């Protein structure tokens, strides 16, 4: 699966293990799990395979986040992403990671 990052801090967290701005500071455990989940997303061929990993809790979001999906990083954080259909395939192969959010806040 092809992964793109909508926000620069998400890409920095993945590539460097930290963000350059002070607003997006996370615990080292959260960052390592985030990197592990993004690597898992990269290694699957389509988003439907994410459902095989029970710990990720792959789901389609509803309400004001309708059209987005999410996987869990841990019990407190999740990765929200947008699925896209490429070349008319019914399987989404491009994910745009939009947010690493604390969704219980």
pLDDT single digits (tens) 64-92: 888 888 899 998 888 888 887 666 654 44
Give CB contacts under 8 A, 24+ apart, made by 18-26: 24/100, 26/77, 26/100
Between CA 28 and CA 7, with CA 62 as vertex, the angle to 5 degrees is 40
- Percentage above 70 pLDDT, the chain: 84
pLDDT at 93 over 60: no
Please report, for the domain that includes residue 35, its CATH number.
3.30.2310.20
| Listed residue (51, 52, 62, 58) closest to 79, CA to CA | 58
CB atoms closer than 10 angstroms to residue 48: 13
Domain that holds residue 18: 2-102
More confident residue, 48 or 54: 54
Number of domains in the chain: 1
DSSP E strand stretches across the chain: 2-5, 59-60, 68-72, 77-85, 92-102
């Amino acid at each position: 699966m092809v992964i793109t990052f909508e926000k620069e801090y998400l890409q920095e967290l993945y590539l460097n293990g930290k963000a350059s701005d002070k607003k997006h500071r996370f615990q080292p455990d959260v960052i390592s799990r985030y990197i592990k989940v993004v690597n898992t997303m990269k290694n699957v061929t389509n988003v439907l395979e994410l459902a095989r990993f029970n710990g990720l809790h792959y789901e389609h979001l509803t309400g004001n986040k309708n059209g987005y999906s999410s996987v869990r990083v841990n019990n407190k954080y999740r990765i929200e992403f947008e699925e896209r259909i490429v070349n008319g395939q019914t399987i989404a192969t491009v994910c745009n990671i939009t947010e690493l959010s604390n969704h219980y806040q």
